[in-house]
Structure 1
Amino acid sequence: MGQVKVSINDRSYTVACGDGEEEHVRELASYINKHVTDLAQEVGQVGDARLLLMAGLLIADELSDAFQKNKLLEQEIENLSGSRASALERSREAEASLADVMDDAARRIEDLAKRIEAA
């Protein structure tokens, strides 16, 4: 099991993580630190716990928006898949109809050819 030292709001923390996940944990901590730093500049140093809470809420809000967008995109994909399936079915029906027309035309041409040969 790996360990990573991260810094948030100029305080160091040691965090355990799975082997090979160290860089990912550093990136996540950096993301949190950016939010905390931005908040500290905006509202001042109101304490680590409050800054981390506020940053956590902002990140949760971002995640909520991302989930909502993901849900809308999944719905759109589902609608497009349904439209595609419907279009494919209409295309198959049109091909079948065209094939029937072509068969009928071929029969008529053969009948005309037989009549012409018989005459």
Structure 2
Amino acid sequence: MPVVEFTIGHKQYELSAQEGEERLLKRAAAMLDTEARTILEQAGRMPEPRLLLLAGLMLADRTSTLEDRLASAERELGRLKANPPRVEVPVIPPRVAEAMAELAARAESLADKAEESLSS
């Protein structure tokens, strides 16, 4: 069983991990260390159990906030799936389409005439 070494709040720890879970343990320890260092910067030295408790509570608060946001996003996604927004594509009236085609033909004709006069 591999042993993972990490630091939390200036203290070294070693912990056994299941094969393949070393990276996850290091990531979790780094998150706890980030919170612990923030607490130490603000409050200074404190007993290790209190530091770990406060850091764990800060992570729990952050996790709770993220869970609330996730639940809200999932509800919104469910609402959108149940009632997809309507997208309306404007329809060009046939008279306007015909007028645009006529304008394009005239522009093409003028371009041809301009080209002929330049090459002559």
Aligned to 2:74: 74
Query: What letter corresponds to residue 15 of structure 1 in structure 2?
Result: L
Q: Which residues of structure 1 form unaligned runs of 5+?
A: 88-119
Aligned to 1:99: none
Query: What letter corresponds to residue 28 of structure 1 in structure 2?
Result: A
Question: Aligned with 1:15: secondary structure?
Answer: strand
Aligned to 1:33: 33
Aligned to 1:53: 53
Aligned to 2:110: none
**How far apart, CA to CA, are the structure 1 residues paired with 2:49 and 2:41?**
16
Q: Deviations over 1:9-48 (max 9, x none)?
A: 2211111222111122112111111110110110111111
Aligned to 2:14: 14
**How far apart, CA to CA, are the structure 1 residues paired with 2:81 and 2:12?**
49
Query: What letter corresponds to residue 19 of structure 2 in structure 1?
Result: D
Question: Aligned with 2:15: secondary structure?
Answer: strand
Q: How does 1:100-119 map to 2 (within 5 A)?
A: none
Q: Among the aligned pairs, what percent are the same residue? A: 25
Q: Which residues of structure 2 form unaligned runs of 5+?
A: 88-120
**Alpha-carbon offset, residue 85 of structure 1:** 9.6
Call closer, same or farther: CA 1:85–1:37 in 2, change over 3 Å: closer
Q: Deviations over 1:41-82 (max 9, x none)?
A: 101111111111111111000000011001001100110011
RMSD: 1.9
Aligned to 2:118: none
Higher helix share: 1
Question: Aligned with 2:5: secondary structure?
Answer: strand
Aligned to 2:106: none
TM-score, length of structure 2 as denominator length: 0.66
Query: What letter corresponds to residue 65 of structure 1 in structure 2?
Result: T
Report how many aligned residue pairs link the two structures. Answer: 87
